[in-house]
């Protein structure tokens, strides 16, 4: 019988089926006997640094974790426990957050699970509609995966309960893709007034319909999570990461 309680925060799928064809079940990230290490992930040429929320970039955090524990594998960042957890749940933890976003065999968690007459040992996954700090204020377009900005008024109007259709549409039309001032952009591109191939002066609204905007505005999946999935060839369709949602997952192992 499983006796160790485990809790994890991350970005997950909660509707997996047995043999789900969205998954590459041969991914090394799912081979818990030979999963890649933190160091291998940090050395991966395409590893995305992402946003800097602390004095260290995520990639540097991962490298330091790998230096401290050279043989530590990434299996703790990919949670799919069909035997003692839920077969329908897959959770990806940003490697730089592996020490903070997962824990097991915690005394407080164990006691809380045993507060009732019988221990509560069923796996439970909850979608976190508030997001996960420090990414809770970041949003993206579900269809393209692009990070968005200028969405504050639209969200406030939605939360107000009964906004006028005109104001809601105007707010939806103001939502825009966050310009990507990437260090790899050439001076020529910047001088030409373009950023990642799109004119800076382009004012064409991203959304022309408030309902579409509401459906496509979702919590941002951090670049580090996207790169982890790509690094391990975890999904058969590279766009599957757009379906990941922030979750809190409890299971027993």
**Domain match, 44 and 113 both:** yes
Tell me the residue range of the domain where 57 lies. 5-130+222-252
Domain count, the chain: 2
Report pTM: 0.82
Give the H/E segment covering residue 217.
Answer: strand 217-219
89 pLDDT higher than 60: yes
Give tens-digit pLDDT for 44-77.
Answer: 766 544 443 333 467 778 888 888 888 889 988 9
Q: For the segment 144-187, what is each residue's pLDDT rounded down to a tens digit?
A: 999 999 999 999 999 887 788 999 999 999 999 988 634 334 33
Co-location of 46 and 112 in the same domain: yes
Computed from CA positions of residues 75, 79, 82, 87, in that sequence, does the dihedral angle turn out positive or negative? negative
Pick from 136, 155, 130, 140: which is nearest to 216 by CA? 140
Determine the Cα–Cα distance for residues 9 and 214; give it in Å rounded to an integer: 25
Mean pLDDT computed over 101-106? 91
When mean pLDDT is compared across 127-131, 183-187, 223-227, the lowest value belongs to 183-187
Shared domain check, 162 and 203: yes
Pair 76, 105 in one domain:
yes
Kindly state whether residues 215 and 229 are assigned to the same domain: no
């Amino acid at each position: 019988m499983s006796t160790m309680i485990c809790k994890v925060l991350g970005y997950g799928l909660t509707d997996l089926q047995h043999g789900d064809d969205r998954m590459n079940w041969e991914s090394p990230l799912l081979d818990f006997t030979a999963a890649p290490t933190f160091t291998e992930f940090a050395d991966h040429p395409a590893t995305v640094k992402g946003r800097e929320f602390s004095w260290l970039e995520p990639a540097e955090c991962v490298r330091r974790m790998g230096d401290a524990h050279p043989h530590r594998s990434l299996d703790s960042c990919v949670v799919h426990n069909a035997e003692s957890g839920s077969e329908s749940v897959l959770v990806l933890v940003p490697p730089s957050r592996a020490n903070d976003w997962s824990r097991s065999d915690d005394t407080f968690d164990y006691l809380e699970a045993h507060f009732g007459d019988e221990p509560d040992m069923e796996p439970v996954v909850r979608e976190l509609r508030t997001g996960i700090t420090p990414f809770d204020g970041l949003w993206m377009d579900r269809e393209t995966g692009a990070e968005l900005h200028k969405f504050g008024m639209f969200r406030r109007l939605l939360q107000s309960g009964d906004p006028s259709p005109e104001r809601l549409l105007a707010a939806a039309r103001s939502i825009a893709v966050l310009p990507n001032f990437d260090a790899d952009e050439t001076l020529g591109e910047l001088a030409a007034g373009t950023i990642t191939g799109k004119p800076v002066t382009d004012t064409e609204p991203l959304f022309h319909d408030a309902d579409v905007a509401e459906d496509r505005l979702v919590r941002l999946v951090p670049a580090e999570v996207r790169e982890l999935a790509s690094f391990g060839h975890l999904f058969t369709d590279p766009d599957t990461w757009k379906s990941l949602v922030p979750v809190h997952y409890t299971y027993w192992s």
